[in-house]
């Protein structure tokens, strides 16, 4: 999720852990090794297809790439997109315009920024509603939030 930047991933995991949310952390084996110990409420799913847990998820935190962004939106799940690459896909932030996503400067975002963004995705009815609207729009033939699409 955060490439080889374990500090950025660690801040997000710590924020989830302290909010008391149940967390399934889908990571590569190398990321799991670099991360070290995680809070008790965090389960690591190593090399696991993340889309299989989306329908039962309350929020998704990802690295601002189109695949996890579109997968979350297709399931109507609010997201926190941590832009951890200088060359992130423009589609990774496509949900930001309609309000279904919060985008953080992943490497630069501190613990408190992560905590606030994650709490909003978990508990913010406006962000959940926006994700559901985008999901419904995608099923009809997406125009909301797409560059050059409707408003």
Tens of pLDDT, residue by residue over 31-74, are 888 887 888 888 888 888 877 888 888 888 877 677 777 888 88
Give the class (CATH, top level) of 6-86+95-138: alpha beta
d(C-alpha 118, C-alpha 80), whole Å: 7
Per-residue pLDDT of the chain (151 residues; tens, 9 = 90+): 445 556 777 777 787 778 877 888 888 888 888 887 888 888 888 888 877 888 888 888 877 677 777 888 888 888 888 776 554 445 545 555 578 888 887 667 777 888 888 888 888 888 889 888 888 888 887 655 544 444 4
Sheet holding 79-82, edge to edge: 60-62, 79-82, 101-104
pTM, two decimal places: 0.72
Q: What angle do CA 71, 74, 80 make, to 5 degrees?
A: 55
d(C-alpha 91, C-alpha 7), whole Å: 25
């Amino acid at each position: 999720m955060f490439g080889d930047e374990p500090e950025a991933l660690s801040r997000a995991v710590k924020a989830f852990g302290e909010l008391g949310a149940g967390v399934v952390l889908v990571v590569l084996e190398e990321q799991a090794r670099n991360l070290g110990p995680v809070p008790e409420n965090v389960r690591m799913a190593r090399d696991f297809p993340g889309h299989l847990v989306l329908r039962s998820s309350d929020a998704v935190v990802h690295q601002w790439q189109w695949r996890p962004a579109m997968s979350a939106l297709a399931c109507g799940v609010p997201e926190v997109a941590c832009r951890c690459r200088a060359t992130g896909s423009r589609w990774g932030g496509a949900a930001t315009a309609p309000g279904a996503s919060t985008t953080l400067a992943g490497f630069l975002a501190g613990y408190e920024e992560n905590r606030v963004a994650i709490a909003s995705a978990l508990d913010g009815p406006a962000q959940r509603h926006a994700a559901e609207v985008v999901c419904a729009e995608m099923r009809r033939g997406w125009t909301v939030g797409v560059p050059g699409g409707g408003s």
